[in-house]
């Protein structure tokens, strides 16, 4: 059973961009209610679809947001939380800003797998 992998700016290239399968990145922040809402759903989906899609989460501190001090957050223009990006071949293939319920997240994941 696959689990959600923590990534940071230090291992982003290795864990996300260089991955040989599609990767979902959940950019989240502390105190973000919508982020907390989707976290257990992403854990479930990682268990169900982790063999086809790598599930990761990327913590962003408010200091990084206010000071524009995280080059990954800047590069991918993460403006709110949660931001979900699906990477294929090192490039963003799909994106979504905000929480989704389980059915919506499942559809988001399945759409990525259909075009993989």
Find tokens 């799909």 and name the residue.
Answer: 94
How many Å apart are CA 53 and CA 109, to the nearest integer? 8
| Single pTM value for the model | 0.94
Which helix (H) or strand (E) segment is 85 a member of? strand 83-88
Residue 71 pLDDT greater than 70, yes or no: yes
How many Å apart are CA 106 and CA 91, to the nearest integer? 21
Which helix (H) or strand (E) segment is 56 a member of? strand 54-59
Confidence band (pLDDT; 50, 70, 90) for 25? Answer: very high
Catalytic positions, written as ranges:
32, 35
Instruction: Domain count for the chain, please give it.
Output: 1
Domain of 87, in residue numbers: 5-114
CATH of the domain at 57: 3.40.30.10
**Which two three-digit tokens encode residue 64?**
């990084």
Residue 12 pLDDT greater than 90, yes or no: yes
Radius of gyration of the chain (CA): 13
């Amino acid at each position: 059973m696959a689990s959600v992998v923590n990534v940071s700016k230090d291992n982003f290239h290795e864990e996300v961009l260089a991955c040989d399968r599609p990767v979902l990145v959940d950019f989240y922040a502390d105190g973000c209610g919508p982020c907390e809402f989707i976290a257990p759903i992403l854990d479930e989906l990682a268990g169900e679809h982790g063999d086809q899609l790598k599930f990761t989460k990327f913590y962003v501190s408010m200091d990084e947001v206010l000071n524009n001090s995280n080059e990954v957050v800047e590069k991918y223009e993460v403006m709110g939380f949660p931001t979900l990006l699906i990477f294929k071949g090192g490039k963003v293939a799909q994106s979504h800003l905000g929480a989704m319920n389980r059915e919506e997240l499942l559809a988001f994941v399945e759409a990525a797998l259909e075009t993989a």
